[in-house]
Amino acid sequence: MSSLKEAIACPICDQTLTKVPPDCKQCQNYFRNEVTKMPLSLVDLTPERVKREIDHGVETKPLRTELFRLPIISWLYERILPPIWAMGLRNLGGIDIEFRQCVEFFGQDLRVVADISCGTGMISRRLALLQRCEQIIALDYSETMLGQLQQQMQLEGISPQQITIIRGDVGALPFAPNSLDAVYSGAAMHCWPDATTGIRNIYQALRSGGKLFATTFLQPLPSIVFRFFTPDELQQIAIAAGFEPDCVQVETRGVYGTIKCIK
Ligand SMILES: C[S@@+](CC[C@H](N)C(=O)[O-])C[C@H]1O[C@@H](n2cnc3c(N)ncnc32)[C@H](O)[C@@H]1O
Protein backbone atom coordinates (compact mmCIF):
# COMPACT_ATOMS: atom_id res chain seq x y z
CA MET A 1 0.00 0.00 0.00
CA SER A 2 -0.71 2.45 -1.18
CA SER A 3 -1.62 5.02 -3.77
CA LEU A 4 -3.79 7.93 -2.78
CA LYS A 5 -6.75 6.38 -4.63
CA GLU A 6 -6.34 3.15 -2.70
CA ALA A 7 -6.07 5.00 0.62
CA ILE A 8 -9.01 7.38 0.38
CA ALA A 9 -12.44 5.84 1.00
CA CYS A 10 -16.05 7.01 1.24
CA PRO A 11 -16.77 7.79 4.94
CA ILE A 12 -20.26 6.25 4.63
CA CYS A 13 -19.71 2.94 2.83
CA ASP A 14 -15.92 2.67 3.36
CA GLN A 15 -15.33 1.78 -0.29
CA THR A 16 -12.39 3.17 -2.20
CA LEU A 17 -12.68 4.35 -5.79
CA THR A 18 -11.49 0.99 -6.99
CA LYS A 19 -14.70 -0.69 -5.65
CA VAL A 20 -18.18 0.63 -6.38
CA PRO A 21 -20.86 -1.13 -4.31
CA PRO A 22 -24.24 -1.43 -6.11
CA ASP A 23 -26.26 -0.39 -3.01
CA CYS A 24 -24.37 2.85 -2.42
CA LYS A 25 -24.84 4.69 -5.67
CA GLN A 26 -25.58 8.14 -4.27
CA CYS A 27 -22.71 8.49 -1.84
CA GLN A 28 -20.32 6.95 -4.33
CA ASN A 29 -21.36 9.47 -6.97
CA TYR A 30 -20.73 12.35 -4.58
CA PHE A 31 -17.49 10.75 -3.41
CA ARG A 32 -16.26 10.11 -6.96
CA ASN A 33 -16.96 13.70 -8.06
CA GLU A 34 -15.31 15.14 -4.97
CA VAL A 35 -12.17 13.04 -5.29
CA THR A 36 -11.65 14.16 -8.90
CA LYS A 37 -11.00 17.68 -7.52
CA MET A 38 -7.89 16.50 -5.66
CA PRO A 39 -5.24 17.77 -5.22
CA LEU A 40 -6.05 21.19 -6.66
CA SER A 41 -8.88 22.01 -4.29
CA LEU A 42 -10.05 21.10 -0.84
CA VAL A 43 -12.48 18.18 -0.89
CA ASP A 44 -15.26 17.68 1.65
CA LEU A 45 -15.47 14.06 2.82
CA THR A 46 -17.22 14.62 6.16
CA PRO A 47 -19.99 12.05 6.63
CA GLU A 48 -22.66 14.74 6.99
CA ARG A 49 -21.70 16.34 3.68
CA VAL A 50 -21.89 12.98 1.93
CA LYS A 51 -25.16 12.11 3.74
CA ARG A 52 -26.63 15.46 2.74
CA GLU A 53 -26.64 14.11 -0.80
CA ILE A 54 -28.84 11.29 0.41
CA ASP A 55 -31.17 12.61 3.14
CA HIS A 56 -30.50 16.39 3.25
CA GLY A 57 -29.96 16.17 7.03
CA VAL A 58 -27.73 18.55 9.05
CA GLU A 59 -25.68 17.39 12.03
CA THR A 60 -23.99 19.64 14.60
CA LYS A 61 -20.95 18.76 16.69
CA PRO A 62 -20.07 19.82 20.26
CA LEU A 63 -18.70 23.31 20.87
CA ARG A 64 -15.13 21.97 21.27
CA THR A 65 -15.28 20.88 17.64
CA GLU A 66 -17.45 23.63 16.11
CA LEU A 67 -15.32 26.41 17.70
CA PHE A 68 -12.53 25.84 15.18
CA ARG A 69 -14.86 26.48 12.25
CA LEU A 70 -15.16 30.16 13.24
CA PRO A 71 -13.09 32.22 10.77
CA ILE A 72 -11.70 34.42 13.57
CA ILE A 73 -10.37 31.39 15.49
CA SER A 74 -8.70 29.99 12.38
CA TRP A 75 -7.19 33.35 11.53
CA LEU A 76 -5.86 33.90 15.04
CA TYR A 77 -4.71 30.31 15.63
CA GLU A 78 -1.30 30.38 14.04
CA ARG A 79 -0.76 34.11 14.56
CA ILE A 80 -1.09 33.88 18.35
CA LEU A 81 -0.42 30.40 19.68
CA PRO A 82 3.09 29.34 18.49
CA PRO A 83 5.00 31.90 20.64
CA ILE A 84 2.90 30.94 23.69
CA TRP A 85 3.58 27.25 23.07
CA ALA A 86 7.28 27.94 22.61
CA MET A 87 7.41 29.27 26.18
CA GLY A 88 6.84 25.71 27.34
CA LEU A 89 3.09 25.08 27.33
CA ARG A 90 3.31 22.73 24.35
CA ASN A 91 6.33 20.48 24.66
CA LEU A 92 9.61 22.08 25.60
CA GLY A 93 10.23 24.49 22.73
CA GLY A 94 6.84 24.34 20.98
CA ILE A 95 5.91 23.04 17.55
CA ASP A 96 9.47 22.69 16.18
CA ILE A 97 10.42 20.32 18.99
CA GLU A 98 7.17 18.41 18.51
CA PHE A 99 7.92 18.08 14.79
CA ARG A 100 11.42 16.76 15.52
CA GLN A 101 10.08 14.19 18.01
CA CYS A 102 7.40 13.09 15.57
CA VAL A 103 9.77 12.67 12.61
CA GLU A 104 12.24 10.78 14.79
CA PHE A 105 9.46 8.40 15.90
CA PHE A 106 8.12 7.89 12.36
CA GLY A 107 11.54 6.94 10.96
CA GLN A 108 12.32 6.57 7.26
CA ASP A 109 9.76 4.26 5.67
CA LEU A 110 7.02 6.80 4.93
CA ARG A 111 4.81 6.54 1.89
CA VAL A 112 1.37 7.77 2.99
CA VAL A 113 1.27 9.97 6.10
CA ALA A 114 -1.86 11.69 7.44
CA ASP A 115 -1.99 14.75 9.67
CA ILE A 116 -5.41 14.25 11.26
CA SER A 117 -7.00 17.36 12.76
CA CYS A 118 -4.22 19.23 11.03
CA GLY A 119 -5.63 22.69 11.78
CA THR A 120 -3.55 25.15 9.77
CA GLY A 121 -1.19 22.30 8.89
CA MET A 122 1.85 23.31 10.92
CA ILE A 123 3.16 19.73 10.80
CA SER A 124 1.93 18.85 7.28
CA ARG A 125 3.77 21.87 5.90
CA ARG A 126 6.98 20.98 7.74
CA LEU A 127 6.67 17.40 6.45
CA ALA A 128 6.21 18.69 2.89
CA LEU A 129 9.33 20.85 3.16
CA LEU A 130 11.27 17.89 4.59
CA GLN A 131 10.43 15.89 1.41
CA ARG A 132 10.62 12.51 3.11
CA CYS A 133 7.04 11.24 2.47
CA GLU A 134 5.51 10.22 -0.86
CA GLN A 135 2.00 11.38 0.07
CA ILE A 136 0.91 13.78 2.79
CA ILE A 137 -2.79 14.02 3.59
CA ALA A 138 -3.97 16.92 5.78
CA LEU A 139 -7.44 16.35 7.20
CA ASP A 140 -9.50 18.56 9.46
CA TYR A 141 -13.18 19.10 10.27
CA SER A 142 -12.86 22.88 10.01
CA GLU A 143 -13.03 24.28 6.51
CA THR A 144 -11.71 27.62 7.78
CA MET A 145 -8.59 26.02 9.32
CA LEU A 146 -8.02 24.27 5.99
CA GLY A 147 -8.42 27.63 4.21
CA GLN A 148 -5.58 28.98 6.36
CA LEU A 149 -3.52 25.93 5.47
CA GLN A 150 -4.02 26.66 1.75
CA GLN A 151 -2.96 30.29 2.24
CA GLN A 152 0.14 29.28 4.20
CA MET A 153 1.09 26.73 1.53
CA GLN A 154 1.01 29.47 -1.09
CA LEU A 155 3.16 31.75 1.07
CA GLU A 156 5.70 28.97 1.73
CA GLY A 157 5.83 27.79 -1.89
CA ILE A 158 4.29 24.38 -1.16
CA SER A 159 2.31 23.11 -4.16
CA PRO A 160 -1.14 21.41 -3.90
CA GLN A 161 0.52 18.24 -5.21
CA GLN A 162 2.62 18.06 -2.05
CA ILE A 163 -0.31 18.02 0.42
CA THR A 164 -3.75 16.54 -0.27
CA ILE A 165 -6.28 18.51 1.77
CA ILE A 166 -9.48 16.85 2.94
CA ARG A 167 -12.30 18.14 5.09
CA GLY A 168 -13.16 15.07 7.14
CA ASP A 169 -14.30 13.83 10.52
CA VAL A 170 -12.11 11.68 12.74
CA GLY A 171 -15.36 9.99 13.79
CA ALA A 172 -15.78 8.56 10.26
CA LEU A 173 -12.42 8.78 8.55
CA PRO A 174 -12.34 8.59 4.75
CA PHE A 175 -9.49 6.06 4.62
CA ALA A 176 -9.34 2.42 3.63
CA PRO A 177 -8.22 -0.02 6.36
CA ASN A 178 -4.44 -0.59 6.56
CA SER A 179 -3.72 2.24 4.13
CA LEU A 180 -1.59 4.70 6.13
CA ASP A 181 2.06 4.38 7.20
CA ALA A 182 1.88 7.01 9.91
CA VAL A 183 -0.54 9.43 11.53
CA TYR A 184 0.24 12.63 13.38
CA SER A 185 -2.56 14.19 15.39
CA GLY A 186 -1.39 17.22 17.34
CA ALA A 187 -3.23 18.91 20.21
CA ALA A 188 -6.52 17.54 18.95
CA MET A 189 -7.99 14.66 20.96
CA HIS A 190 -9.40 17.05 23.56
CA CYS A 191 -11.36 18.78 20.73
CA TRP A 192 -12.95 15.64 19.25
CA PRO A 193 -16.54 14.64 20.01
CA ASP A 194 -15.33 11.15 21.02
CA ALA A 195 -11.62 10.41 21.41
CA THR A 196 -12.09 6.64 21.73
CA THR A 197 -13.84 6.44 18.35
CA GLY A 198 -11.24 8.73 16.79
CA ILE A 199 -8.24 6.69 17.93
CA ARG A 200 -10.01 3.46 16.95
CA ASN A 201 -10.57 4.83 13.43
CA ILE A 202 -6.92 5.84 13.18
CA TYR A 203 -5.86 2.37 14.35
CA GLN A 204 -7.95 0.79 11.58
CA ALA A 205 -6.54 3.09 8.91
CA LEU A 206 -2.92 2.35 9.89
CA ARG A 207 -1.11 -0.55 8.24
CA SER A 208 0.51 -3.21 10.40
CA GLY A 209 3.66 -1.58 11.81
CA GLY A 210 2.13 1.86 11.16
CA LYS A 211 2.74 4.56 13.76
CA LEU A 212 0.59 7.09 15.58
CA PHE A 213 2.07 10.18 17.24
CA ALA A 214 -0.68 12.12 19.04
CA THR A 215 -0.60 14.94 21.56
CA THR A 216 -3.24 16.50 23.77
CA PHE A 217 -3.71 18.63 26.88
CA LEU A 218 -4.34 16.94 30.22
CA GLN A 219 -6.16 17.27 33.53
CA PRO A 220 -6.12 19.10 35.91
CA LEU A 221 -7.13 21.51 33.11
CA PRO A 222 -10.92 21.57 33.61
CA SER A 223 -13.16 19.89 31.04
CA ILE A 224 -15.54 22.81 30.49
CA VAL A 225 -15.42 23.27 26.73
CA PHE A 226 -12.69 20.75 25.88
CA ARG A 227 -12.44 17.18 27.23
CA PHE A 228 -9.11 16.78 28.98
CA PHE A 229 -7.71 13.35 29.86
CA THR A 230 -5.52 11.77 32.49
CA PRO A 231 -2.38 9.92 31.29
CA ASP A 232 -4.07 6.70 32.35
CA GLU A 233 -7.10 7.45 30.20
CA LEU A 234 -4.85 8.06 27.19
CA GLN A 235 -3.26 4.65 27.69
CA GLN A 236 -6.70 3.00 28.00
CA ILE A 237 -8.05 4.77 24.90
CA ALA A 238 -5.11 3.53 22.82
CA ILE A 239 -5.47 -0.03 24.09
CA ALA A 240 -9.26 0.00 23.56
CA ALA A 241 -8.59 1.14 19.98
CA GLY A 242 -6.61 -2.04 19.34
CA PHE A 243 -2.96 -1.18 20.07
CA GLU A 244 -1.08 -3.80 22.11
CA PRO A 245 -0.27 -2.44 25.61
CA ASP A 246 3.49 -2.78 25.07
CA CYS A 247 3.21 -0.80 21.81
CA VAL A 248 1.70 2.21 23.58
CA GLN A 249 3.88 4.83 25.21
CA VAL A 250 2.39 7.82 27.06
CA GLU A 251 4.69 10.69 28.01
CA THR A 252 3.67 13.76 29.97
CA ARG A 253 5.16 17.17 30.55
CA GLY A 254 2.99 19.32 32.84
CA VAL A 255 -0.46 19.46 31.27
CA TYR A 256 0.75 18.19 27.89
CA GLY A 257 0.64 14.54 26.92
CA THR A 258 2.11 12.60 24.00
CA ILE A 259 1.05 9.14 22.91
CA LYS A 260 3.28 7.10 20.63
CA CYS A 261 1.78 3.85 19.35
CA ILE A 262 2.83 1.20 16.86
CA LYS A 263 0.21 -1.08 15.28
C1 LIG B 1 -6.27 22.69 18.76
S2 LIG B 1 -6.44 22.38 17.06
C3 LIG B 1 -4.94 21.52 16.65
C4 LIG B 1 -4.47 21.85 15.27
C5 LIG B 1 -3.10 21.29 14.88
N6 LIG B 1 -3.11 19.85 14.80
C7 LIG B 1 -2.00 21.72 15.82
O8 LIG B 1 -1.16 20.87 16.14
O9 LIG B 1 -1.94 22.87 16.21
C10 LIG B 1 -7.62 21.08 17.04
C11 LIG B 1 -8.12 20.75 15.64
O12 LIG B 1 -8.98 19.60 15.73
C13 LIG B 1 -9.97 19.74 14.72
N14 LIG B 1 -11.10 18.84 15.00
C15 LIG B 1 -12.00 18.93 16.02
N16 LIG B 1 -12.92 17.95 15.91
C17 LIG B 1 -12.59 17.22 14.81
C18 LIG B 1 -13.17 16.10 14.17
N19 LIG B 1 -14.29 15.54 14.64
N20 LIG B 1 -12.57 15.59 13.08
C21 LIG B 1 -11.44 16.17 12.59
N22 LIG B 1 -10.86 17.24 13.14
C23 LIG B 1 -11.43 17.78 14.24
C24 LIG B 1 -10.32 21.20 14.80
O25 LIG B 1 -11.00 21.67 13.65
C26 LIG B 1 -8.96 21.85 15.00
O27 LIG B 1 -8.38 22.25 13.79
In a domain, 85, yes or no: yes
Q: Is the CB of 145 under 6 A from ligand 1?
A: yes
Which residue range(s) make up the domain with 186? Answer: 57-262
Highest mean pLDDT among 52-56, 95-99, 198-202, 250-254: 198-202
Q: Other CB atoms closer than 10 Å to residue 21's CB: what's the count? A: 12
Q: Is the CB of 142 under 6 A from ligand 1?
A: yes
Mutate which of 141, 200, 226 for ligand 1 pocket (most atoms within 8 A of beta carbon): 141
In a domain, 17, yes or no: no
* DSSP structural state of residue 117: T
In a domain, 40, yes or no: no
Assign 3-state DSSP to the chain and report helix, strand, coil percentages, each to 5: 45, 20, 35
Answering whether pTM is above 0.85, one says: yes
What local confidence, expressed as pLDDT, does residue 51 receive? 77
Residue-wise pLDDT tens digits, 172-205: 999 999 999 999 999 999 999 999 999 999 999 9
Give mean pLDDT, residues 7-27: 76
Q: Is the CB of 192 under 6 A from ligand 1?
A: yes
Number of folded domains in the chain? Answer: 1
In a domain, 151, yes or no: yes
Q: Atom 8 in ligand 1: which residue has the minimum CA distance?
A: 186
In a domain, 44, yes or no: no
Q: Is the CB of 140 under 6 A from ligand 1?
A: yes
In a domain, 5, yes or no: no
What local confidence, expressed as pLDDT, does residue 1 receive? 44
What local confidence, expressed as pLDDT, does residue 13 receive? 83
In a domain, 91, yes or no: yes
Q: Is the CB of 110 under 6 A from ligand 1?
A: no
Q: What is the mean pLDDT of the chain?
A: 90
CATH code (residue 195) = 3.40.50.150
Spatial distance between the Cα atoms of 196 and 178, rounded to a whole number of angstroms: 18
Q: Dihedral of CA 12/18/20/25: which sign?
A: positive
Strand-strand pairing, 43-44 and 164-167 = parallel
Q: Is the CB of 187 under 6 A from ligand 1?
A: yes
Q: What is the torsion angle, in degrees rounded to the nearest 10, for the CA atoms of residue 87, residue 217, residue 192 and residue 212?
A: 90
pLDDT at 249 over 90: yes
H/E stretch holding 112: strand 112-116
pLDDT at 23 over 70: no
In a domain, 8, yes or no: no
